[in-house]
């Protein structure tokens, strides 16, 4: 149990968003969370998984052999 549990405000700060965004992720069940009494906590690993699954890799286009035609 080495995972840190973050509040909604901490997750929002980590992601650089408002608190509304993590709350929406929780409501739509798009991120794992834990209820501790009436408090909601999000495991740090769940935030990392969310970011990894939504990261878009750049396209690698092959270089043209010749420069552009004028």
41, HSE (Cβ side, Cα atoms, 13 Å): 12
The residue segments making up the domain with residue 29 are 1-38
pTM over 0.85: no
Which residue, 45, 53, 55, 44, is CA-closest to 10?
A: 44
| Within-domain flag for 30 | yes
| Within-domain flag for 45 | no
Local structure of 21: helix, strand or coil:
helix
By CB atoms closer than 10 A (0-12, 13-18, 19+), residue 6 is buried
The total domain count for the chain is 1
* CA–centroid distance for 69 within its chain: 42
What does each of the 70 residues of the chain score in pLDDT, given as a tens digit?
Answer: 578 999 999 999 999 999 999 999 999 999 999 999 999 999 999 999 999 999 999 888 877 677 666 6
């Amino acid at each position: 149990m080495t995972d840190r549990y973050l509040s909604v405000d901490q997750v929002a700060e980590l992601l650089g968003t408002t608190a509304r965004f993590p709350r929406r992720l929780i409501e739509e069940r798009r991120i794992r969370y834990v209820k501790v009494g009436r408090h909601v906590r999000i495991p740090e690993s769940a935030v990392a998984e969310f970011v990894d699954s939504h990261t878009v890799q750049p396209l690698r286009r092959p270089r043209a052999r010749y420069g552009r035609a004028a």
